[in-house]
Amino acid sequence: MAKFRQNHQQNSGTGMGKQVSIFAALIAGIFLLFKTFSGGETTDTHHPSDNPPKQHEPIPDTAPGHTTEEFEETGGYLKEYFPKGGVDGQLVHHQFFSLSYNEEHEQANWVAYELTRERLNAKWAKRPNNFRPDPKVKTKTATHYDYKRSGHDRGHLVPAADMSFSKGAINETFYMSNISPQVGNFNKGIWRELEEQTRDWAKKFKHLYIVTGPVLNIENLGTIGDRNEVTIPGAFFKVILDLSEPEIKGIGYVMPNEVTDAPIHQFAKTIDEVESITGLDFFSSLEDEMEYKLEKKVNTDAWFIDKKRYAARVKSWNKQ
């Protein structure tokens, strides 16, 4: 009996050791997978509306109805509508958007892309939160460390949610060339409202062309980041062209980089007015008569506003 008890204890100890080893190996494997796929530090605050719905089908790497080769060849956007003028910058083409990079201010002068109903209705890819330098920028971009403990959000110029139709597209929005310093409750407040409202317009009008960027030629709000000294813009602009109408229409916005309870229609501008503020020339490839009609006036009634979203911003978003 004593011999049996001794053997039993030895076997139990050996079994327990194997279980501990297996458990440790499992923990190490989980940790390795987390490091591999998490993309590093994820301190970014993103909009709740950017959370993707539950999905049961694979997310494509290209836009709906197109092949990778088509988008690599064309860029997936209308290049003839790129802004002209303003400060020179390196023109960078990604698969689904382009930008002009301003080395002095360590952010884009502008980004340009298309937004369609078809893309927004596609299944959403998971938001990666993988902020990283843009390898296509020759002079190198800012890094996410420039924003760390700066008191400013890493604000997307091309919203991640606008590119959620494919893994490749949404990942590109986390290049630091697409990021600009924004006051926290501006990013989570009126800027979020405008981004969500723009997606509503894209679903209604089917096909929008969007140019967005910081206003860098007015008094800025200082800099962040000891290494790269990223300029904090005093304002941001967005110009929207509706390409789906028999007679296309457009609207512009210029918003101070600050928290506000004012409705977004108070910041609506004609495209001419945005050109005057930014020094950029938008949509110059349009026929002269069409460009004149498009840029000289804006009918805010044609661009509906969700009043419930505005109420949510004033009540809670501005106070987060």
Q: Confirm whether 94 is a catalytic residue.
A: no
Distance from C-alpha of 101 to C-alpha of 141, rounded to nearest angstrom:
9
For residue 231, the cross-strand partners are 223
Q: In the structure encoding, which two tokens stand for residue 197, read together?
A: 């409202």
Please give the single-letter amino acid code of residue 27.
I
Distance from C-alpha of 103 to C-alpha of 229, rounded to nearest angstrom:
10
Beta carbons within 8 Å of 259's beta carbon, 6+ residues apart:
183, 185, 186, 189, 190, 318
Q: Tell which residue, 221, 220, 198, 230, has the closest CA to residue 211.
A: 198
Helix (H, G, I), strand (E, B) or coil at 51: coil
DSSP 89-132: -EEEE-SS-EEEEETTTTEEEEEEEEEEHHHHHSPPPPP----B
**Catalytic residue selected from 93, 156, 207, 265:** 156
Distance from C-alpha of 129 to C-alpha of 171, rounded to nearest angstrom:
8
55 half-sphere exposure, CB direction, 13 A CA radius? 16
Distance from C-alpha of 267 to C-alpha of 261, rounded to nearest angstrom:
12
Dihedral of CA atoms 305, 267, 260, 101 in degrees, nearest 10, equals 110
Dihedral of CA atoms 91, 132, 120, 118 in degrees, nearest 10, equals 50
Dihedral of alpha carbons 215, 220, 223, 224, sign: negative
Residues with catalytic function: 156
